[in-house]
Amino acid sequence: MDILTIDSIEKIDEVAREFIKIMGNRKVYAFNGKMGAGKTTFIKAICESMGVQETINSPTFSIVNEYEAKNGHVIYHFDCYRINKIQEALDFGADEYLNSGNFCFIEWAENIAPLLPDSITNVNIEEITNGTRKIEIV
């Protein structure tokens, strides 16, 4: 387990770069935390640090956004908040994305739990104080 701390929004890019250094060969990540914990903001910082040039925003309505990192790696960013049944995830091809070998950053992963690989890495984000976040990578 690794623990990172974001002391302020000004430090988020620095922490994102630290996160990338410890990613290793892992590809599928569940970003967990309460509403407003900073999941989307941290994923955006990670993608930017990986060299994504496109606009990075929450896929709340599209459910999944696809980005390309500077090195050509594909990143899928999921927001499964609105998924109510596994069939909905299967209908948009979630299982294919998850098994693609590409990076998958998933918000509200618990809504598609039966589809998640055993090798998933959990990234737990918790607000410690106003503006400070603890990032626990399990």
- Residue 121 above 90 pLDDT? yes
- Residue 7 above 90 pLDDT? yes
Domain count, the chain: 1
Mean pLDDT (whole number) for 11-16: 97
Query: Residue 60: its pLDDT value, please?
Result: 87
Range of the domain at 103: 2-137
Query: Residue 71: its pLDDT value, please?
Result: 95
pLDDT tens for each residue of 21-34: 999 999 999 999 99
Domain with residue 44: its CATH number is: 3.40.50.300
- Residue 131 above 90 pLDDT? no
Distance, in Å, from the CA atom of 130 to the CA atom of 69, rounded to the nearest integer, reads 31
Token readout for 51 is 């060299």
pLDDT tens for each residue of 55-110: 999 998 899 999 999 999 999 999 999 999 999 999 999 999 999 999 999 999 99
pLDDT tens for each residue of 33-43: 999 999 999 99
Residues 50-69, buried b or exposed e (16+ Cβ, 10 A)?
bebeeebebbeeebbbebeb
Give the confidence band of 130 by pLDDT, cuts at 50, 70, 90: confident
Query: Are 38 and 4 contacting, i.e. CB atoms less than 8 angstroms apart?
Result: no
DSSP type of residue 57: -
- Residue 133 above 90 pLDDT? yes
Q: CA 121 from chain center: how many Å?
A: 10
